[in-house]
Every structure is written in structure tokens, then in C-alpha cells.
């Protein structure tokens, strides 16, 4: 497919696809058209059997995404938002992707940009990254999971601080809070993200999807419900050919050969 507002790349050998937000002149502001293209690209890669991980990043080096496109939002009405299910209609696609996803954040991830990063399974950040939910400065509030996912990541007090004052977290603070998994120098971040993606893609794709679903269940249920879900998924994994192959390879001290069955 051809796109105007994003770039895509596939490393077939590594099993990793990259989606790059491509509006650097606007700090990769998240217009509706851009998010439609992101959603379409996720559809393609999720259905590509050769892809085991998707990396999402922003072009230009100054911002992963500076937020939603305010000019596009300024004249919207409540009725229009409600009728069109504004934001949720296309923004949640990456959160719903069954394959593992990594957000590689260089520079600013603000508002919708922070929310988009949090929709991914893992966030890795450049040492110049800054995360924030500054919607309060516009007399708005986050609308794509910012009050919900952020609270689950960093806890109530820090989430309240960020959402009520508009304060940004730097990369070190984001790492300490649990928002970010790893940090790297800006010029090394994509190498880190792609290496992580390659590692993930080298595993059984069916097992990776099961792990992702189980971890996400921890955010949606009680501990007892989550443990029950995990146990059932663990039991079900023994029906996979890949699980038999993985255990046989371990016993025989050889590399596993996944068939994704």
C-alpha cells in the first residue's frame, strides 16, 4: 500500500515491520487522516504471517508525536464527536493488534502522542524523550486513554500530577515510573527497538500472542481472574506444535524450529 502521512518498512528476515509517523514539520501531529493510515498499516502487518513484531516511531528526531492535530479539532462539537465516535474509532487499532508492538519514542510524546505510545506493548525511549498529557492547558482532558492507561502505568498520584498540571516526565522519570521499559541515546534508539523486535519475532508467534493477551488481562481483571485466565492459557499452550517443538529442542540442546502451529 502507498501512504501519504506515514512510512512503512519490512525487514522480512527479522520478521519486523516499522511504521513511521511522517509529519515532521508538524511534530508528527496525529490528524484523523494519519491515524487512518496507521490503522490500515496495522491491518496489513497483523495479517502478514511473516511479521512477528511491529515498531512504531516518529520521523524528524524532535517528536514521536506532539499530540492530536489541534487545528483539526478546534471547531468540533459534542454532537459531532459523539456521532463519529471521535478518536476511539481509529485510534484504538494499534491497541487491538494481536501481535506485539513497540513504541520507539524520540523527543516529545505529548497528549495523543503519549496515548499512542501507551497503546503499544512496550515503550523504549531516547534519552531526550518527554512524555506528557497537557490537555488541561486547553481546558480539555485526554480522550484516547490518557487518564486510564497512564494511571495503570505510573499510579494515581503521578497521573494526577501530569494530567492536572500538564507536567512532562523526562526519559529517566518515565523509566523509574514504569512507563518506559528501556532508554538509549537518540541515535541508537531504533537499533535497540529493532533488535528487540527481532528477538520477539524469533519466538513462536502463537506463543507471543498468548503472552500478550495474558499480560493485558492483568490490567482488565482482578488478580484471581487473571491467574485463572493465565492458567487456562498455559494449559492450552500444550496443544501447540510449537510448544512440543520448544520442549523437544530444549531437551535435545538444539535451536527450536517454529511452525506457528
Residue 11 cell numbers, joined: 525487514
Q: Which residue has the cell 465516535?
A: 85
- Order across the sheet with 16-21: list the strands: 6-11, 16-21, 53-58, 101-105, 122-126, 182-184
Rounded Cα–Cα distance for residues 5 and 7 (Å): 7
Rounded Cα–Cα distance for residues 72 and 180 (Å): 30
For residue 149, CA distances in Å to 14, 110, 112 come to: 30, 14, 12
- Which residues are catalytically annotated? 68, 112, 115, 135
Question: What is the number of other CB atoms lying within 10 angstroms of the CB of residue 163?
Answer: 20
Contacts of 123 (CB under 8 A, 6+ apart): 102, 103, 105, 117, 174, 179, 180, 181
Closest to 247 in 3D by CA, of 211, 214, 215, 207: 207
Alpha helices in the chain (DSSP H): 32-46, 70-73, 78-84, 88-91, 93-96, 112-119, 146-154, 156-165, 171-177, 189-201, 205-220, 223-237, 241-252
Amino acid at each position: 500500500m502507498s501512504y501519504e502521512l506515514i512510512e512503512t518498512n519490512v525487514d522480512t528476515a527479522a520478521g519486523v515491520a516499522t511504521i513511521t509517523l511522517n509529519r515532521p514539520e508538524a511534530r508528527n501531529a496525529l490528524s484523523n487522516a494519519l491515524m487512518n493510515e496507521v490503522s490500515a498499516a496495522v491491518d496489513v502487518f497483523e495479517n502478514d504471517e511473516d511479521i512477528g513484531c511491529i515498531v512504531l516511531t516518529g520521523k524528524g528526531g524532535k517528536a514521536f508525536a506532539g499530540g492530536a492535530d489541534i487545528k483539526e479539532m478546534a471547531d468540533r462539537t459534542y454532537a459531532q464527536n459523539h456521532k463519529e465516535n471521535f478518536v476511539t474509532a481509529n485510534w484504538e487499532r494499534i491497541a487491538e493488534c494481536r501481535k506485539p508492538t513497540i513504541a520507539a519514542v524520540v523527543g516529545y510524546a505529548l497528549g495523543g502522542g503519549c496515548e499512542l505510545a501507551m497503546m503499544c506493548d512496550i515503550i523504549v525511549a531516547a534519552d531526550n524523550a518527554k512524555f506528557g498529557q497537557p490537555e488541561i492547558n486547553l481546558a480539555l482532558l485526554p480522550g484516547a486513554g490518557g487518564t486510564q492507561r497512564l494511571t495503570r502505568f505510573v499510579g494515581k498520584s503521578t497521573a494526577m500530577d501530569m494530567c492536572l498540571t500538564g507536567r512532562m516526565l523526562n526519559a529517566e522519570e518515565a523509566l523509574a515510573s514504569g512507563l518506559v521499559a528501556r532508554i538509549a541515546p537518540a541515535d541508537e534508539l531504533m537499533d535497540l527497538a529493532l533488535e528487540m523486535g527481532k528477538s520477539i519475532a524469533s519466538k513462536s508467534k502463537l506463543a507471543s500472542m498468548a503472552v500478550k493477551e495474558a499480560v493485558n488481562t492483568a490490567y482488565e481483571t482482578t488478580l484471581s481472574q487473571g491467574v485463572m485466565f493465565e492458567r487456562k492459557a498455559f494449559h492450552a499452550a500444550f496443544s501447540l506444535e510449537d510448544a512440543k517443538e520448544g520442549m523437544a529442542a530444549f531437551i535435545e540442546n538444539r535451536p527450536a524450529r517454529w511452525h506457528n502451529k
